[in-house]
């Protein structure tokens, strides 16, 4: 596997030799000194380029970086269309290295705003303003507003009823989707606020909460792990109630910290509804 020095050399050499590349910016995890390095970290790079269409039309230049296992060009993916100005090549190579390279048209440089985890590697024409020292400032948790807190609680308790409905009907894909998307996303949001509250909102928990374990008390982390079910309906019921209990604990603490009212009545009403539905016979003609 090529090491970081070799990969950075490839990136720099290509940019120096191709006159269409006018500036190079590296961002994300490899410029974040607060997280440990490992062999799976991507090289997230932005090239400001002239003649963007030429890069897209003739892709033989990719061979400079190595032999591909697979590549994705998300800007051509009809399942997830977007209208951004840049064009990304996400490339995984045979030696395990990955480069996420975004090409951005140099004529629109004023519209490109680097985030706080960015460093300029090359600027042939002095196109870019000096950047501050890279930090994860843009990715740190922000305190919730009263409205955000209320909406999070409402969305959580409302969508819990969808999970219960799917489990009672034994519609596994539906029930699992509701558990892992709207319900878990609200739990994750509350976890972020809870961690922010514990750390004076000075940390970044990473994409999808990948650093939750680092910042959570071991007892809360253990409870969080128990919210992940396997493919049985009984375990989905169990995970749902553990998830509800954890959300209640976190939201009560966050609400107390910021002086926001926790919706106790919604909690009690929905919890009672879930309990009734769990015991409801399949041939029942009424939920009450």
For residue 253, tell me if it sits in a domain: yes
Q: What is the mean pLDDT of residues 88-103?
A: 97
Same-domain status, 128 and 156: no
For residue 119, tell me if it sits in a domain: yes
For residue 285, tell me if it sits in a domain: no
Same-domain status, 44 and 171: no
DSSP structure class, residue 141: -
Same-domain status, 134 and 144: no
CA distance 27 to 266: 43
For residue 220, tell me if it sits in a domain: yes
Q: Encode pLDDT of 135-168 as tens digits.
A: 888 889 999 999 999 999 999 999 999 999 999 9
For residue 205, tell me if it sits in a domain: yes
Given 138, 160, 186, which residue is the final one in a domain? 138
Is the pLDDT score of 287 beyond 80?
Answer: no
103 beta partners: 47, 87
Q: What is the mean pLDDT of residues 27-33?
A: 89
Residues 6+ apart with CB under 8 A from 235: 229
Same-domain status, 274 and 147: yes
The number of distinct structural domains making up the chain is 2
**Percent of the chain scoring above 90 in pLDDT:** 85
CA distance 2 to 94: 10
Same-domain status, 15 and 90: yes
Same-domain status, 79 and 149: no
For residue 284, tell me if it sits in a domain: no
Same-domain status, 102 and 200: no
For residue 208, tell me if it sits in a domain: yes
Same-domain status, 61 and 106: yes
Same-domain status, 73 and 193: no
Same-domain status, 116 and 151: no
Is the pLDDT score of 32 beyond 80?
Answer: yes
Same-domain status, 149 and 92: no
- What the block records as the tokens of 139 is 């990715």
Q: Taking the complete model, does pTM exceed 0.85, yes or no?
A: yes
For residue 169, tell me if it sits in a domain: yes
Of 56-60, 113-117, 184-188, least confident by mean pLDDT is 113-117
**Percent of the chain scoring above 70 in pLDDT:** 100
Q: What is the mean pLDDT of residues 105-124?
A: 92
Q: What is the mean pLDDT of residues 15-26?
A: 97
Q: What is the CATH number of the domain that holds 216?
A: 1.20.120.330
Q: Encode pLDDT of 228-252 as tens digits.
A: 998 899 999 999 999 999 999 999 9
Is the pLDDT score of 109 beyond 80?
Answer: yes
Residue 69, helix vs strand vs coil: strand
In contact, 172 and 162? CB cutoff 8 Å = no
Is the pLDDT score of 170 beyond 90?
Answer: yes
Domain that holds residue 265: 140-279
Residues 6+ apart with CB under 8 A from 105: 48, 49, 50, 52, 85, 86
pLDDT at 81: 83
Same-domain status, 178 and 64: no
Q: What is the CATH number of the domain that holds 121?
A: 3.30.460.10
CA distance 273 to 16: 64
Is the pLDDT score of 288 beyond 90?
Answer: no
pLDDT at 286: 78
Given 118, 138, 158, which residue is the final one in a domain? 138
Residue 44, helix vs strand vs coil: strand
Given 77, 103, 138, which residue is the final one in a domain? 138
């Amino acid at each position: 596997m090529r090491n970081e020095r070799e990969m950075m050399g490839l990136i720099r050499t290509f940019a120096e030799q191709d006159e269409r590349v006018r500036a190079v910016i590296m961002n994300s995890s490899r410029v974040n000194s607060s997280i440990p390095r490992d062999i799976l970290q991507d090289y997230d790079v932005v090239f400001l380029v002239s003649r963007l269409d030429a890069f897209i039309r003739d892709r033989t230049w990719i061979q400079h970086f190595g032999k591909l296992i697979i590549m994705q060009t998300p800007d051509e993916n009809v399942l997830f269309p977007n209208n951004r100005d840049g064009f990304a090549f996400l490339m995984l190579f045979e030696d395990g290295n990955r480069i996420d390279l975004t090409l951005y048209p140099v004529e629109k440089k004023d519209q490109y705003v680097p985030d706080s985890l960015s460093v300029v590697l090359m600027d042939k024409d002095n196109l870019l303003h000096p950047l501050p020292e890279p930090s994860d400032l843009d990715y740190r948790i922000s305190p919730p507003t009263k409205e955000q807190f209320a909406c999070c609680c409402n969305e959580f308790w409302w969508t819990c009823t969808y999970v219960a409905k799917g489990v009672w009907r034994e519609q596994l894909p539906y029930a699992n989707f509701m558990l892992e998307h709207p319900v878990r996303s609200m739990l994750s949001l509350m976890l972020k606020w809870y961690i922010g509250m514990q750390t004076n909102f000075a940390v970044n928990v990473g994409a999808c909460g990948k650093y939750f374990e680092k910042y959570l008390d071991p007892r809360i982390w253990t409870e969080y792990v128990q919210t992940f079910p396997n493919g049985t309906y009984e375990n989905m019921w169990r995970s749902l109630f553990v998830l509800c209990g954890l959300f209640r604990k976190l939201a009560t603490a966050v609400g107390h910290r910021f002086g926001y009212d926790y919706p106790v009545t919604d909690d009690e009403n929905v919890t009672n509804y879930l309990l009734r539905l769990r015991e409801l016979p399949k041939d029942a003609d009424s939920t009450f």
